[in-house]
Amino acid sequence: MIRILIVDDHPLMRKGLAMSLDSEPDLTVVAQCADAEEAMQVLEEAKPDLALVDVSLPGMSGLELVKHMLAIREDLKILVASRHDESLYAERAIRAGARGYVMKLEAGDVILKAVRRVLNGGIYVSDEINERLLMGMVRGHQTLATSPLEVLSDRELEVFEMTGKGHGTRDIAERLHLSVKTVESYRARIKNKLNLNSAAELMQHAVNWVEGEGAG
């Protein structure tokens, strides 16, 4: 029996994923966690073959969790399942060590296909992202040198993306389970890294980037 760990802070999403996976005769969900800290605690005991991890988690982000899990269990196969636009996060998830990226809003059979691909030793991303990753390898990453994808940390990228989608500081804080002060600190670091002078400039840059990158 193949053992699966689900890490997602939305109870209904966890339940839906678990039901879908448990309905397969050879798959069993051995643990469900709401945050990275809980996932790290059960990792040794649950002994999963595959972890299904969300990007946005309270505290440590999902992509940081991927790195921490692999530091302990380098053989663990990890599939990132997120609501975030694949074009913004898939490459970063793969570079963190995940073996695939699937949108949570995809139909159950697509998520199952992604799980199977990763379990069989493959890498799962959409055809469009696969082509982009291959083109990036061919060209090298010079064109991305000044991109937010390159210079921002995982959590900074989340704050930047949400800023570009029009979310205010308090809203971002609530959604990411952070304090307002912490979000303001992230925004200050983002401005510094991207050489932006004001909050208005940050907002405009974020909106332009989300509309450009997010459109694929």
> Looking at the predicted structure, is the pLDDT value of residue 123 above 70?
yes
Domain boundaries along the sequence of the chain:
2-136, 143-214
Alpha carbon 52 to its chain centroid, in Å, reads 10
The pLDDT-based confidence of 140 (bands split at 50, 70, 90) is low
The answer to whether the pTM exceeds 0.75 is no
CATH class of 143-214: mainly alpha
Phi then psi for 151, rounded to 5 degrees? Answer: -95, -20
Distance from C-alpha of 98 to C-alpha of 83, rounded to nearest angstrom: 16
Tens of pLDDT, residue by residue over 15-73, are 999 999 999 999 999 999 999 999 999 999 999 999 999 998 888 889 989 999 999 99
Distance from C-alpha of 79 to C-alpha of 11, rounded to nearest angstrom: 18
Distance from C-alpha of 97 to C-alpha of 70, rounded to nearest angstrom: 7
Tens of pLDDT, residue by residue over 142-193, are 444 456 667 888 889 889 989 998 999 999 998 888 899 999 999 999 998 8
Q: Tokens 């990763």 — which residue?
A: 118
CATH class of 2-136: alpha beta
User: H helices within 23-80, ranges in order?
Assistant: 36-46, 62-72
